[in-house]
Chain A
Amino acid sequence: MTREWKYPNSKFICEKQILIKQTNIFGNTYFSNFIEWQGEAREKFLLEHPNSEQFLRENTTLRLVTHSLQHTFKNNAYLGDRIRIEVTSKNILKYSFLLNFKYFNIKNELLIGEGMQKIGFYDEKLKGLCAVPQFFLDLIIPVLNQ
């Protein structure tokens, strides 16, 4: 039996520390890391759901579709900097929603960057797009940022 659950906070937060391998020849954090961290933060957020294992096991034909994404670079981040990534949702519709990612330098609270993804769902069994599953609504509705 799936117990009812809603994400308990108004945003999901995770952290990254800039390592040498993430910097470029100028010592700045290479741009692609911010896209990679969108994916990582998203995954960590989804795994917050206590029923994530069961959901994945029961929905093997469901595909999360990353429809589009965007990132804007606001300030630099360098080796050793700790970055706080805040995930919220936006514009939750029947078949899609937006995830918003904000990156802050923990040292000075400077906004490093901001990004967004549009997420949809495809069911291989039905061969078509499907509505946002309740599993995801449990997570994204509490973090909805109007």
Chain B
Amino acid sequence: MSEKEAFLKLVETIEKFLQLSRVTGAEKKQEITMDTDIYEDLGIDSLEAMDIVGEIENVFGITVEAQEMLTKKKISDIVTYIMQSNSSN
């Protein structure tokens, strides 16, 4: 999987999660880039971050260290982590 493919798949995963998982309903869709900080820019909290970790495991077919993943704030860092996990799994 290329970095671009991983990025697009990650964005799709996060957008779908935000749409389905927030009880307040559909919010204005924010553009997600490699520089997006998931906590600062998307307002994701700790529970949502854990959920996203679970979804990343499902979507990418990898096992991740949840606590380590939670330290990755930027989309670019998460993509890198996914790529590394993908190659080692």
Contacts and interface: CB of A to CB of B under 8 A. Distances in A.
Interface residues of A, number: 19
B21 interface: yes
Contacts of A65: 47
Label chain B's interface by main secondary structure.
helix
The CB with the most chain A CB atoms within 10 A, among B25, B45, B47, B57, is that of: B47
Nearest to A91: B20
B48 to A, nearest CB: 8
Label chain A's interface by main secondary structure.
strand
Contact of A117 (B23, B46, B47, B54): B23
Chain B interface size, as a band, is 10 to 19
Interface of A: 65, 67-70, 90-91, 93-96, 98, 116-118, 120, 128-129, 131
29 contacts: A65-B47, A68-B22, A68-B23, A69-B23, A90-B20, A91-B20, A91-B21, A93-B21, A93-B54, A93-B55, A94-B51, A94-B54, A94-B57, A95-B50, A95-B51, A95-B53, A96-B50, A98-B23, A116-B23, A117-B23, A118-B21, A118-B22, A118-B23, A118-B47, A120-B47, A120-B50, A129-B46, A129-B50, A131-B54
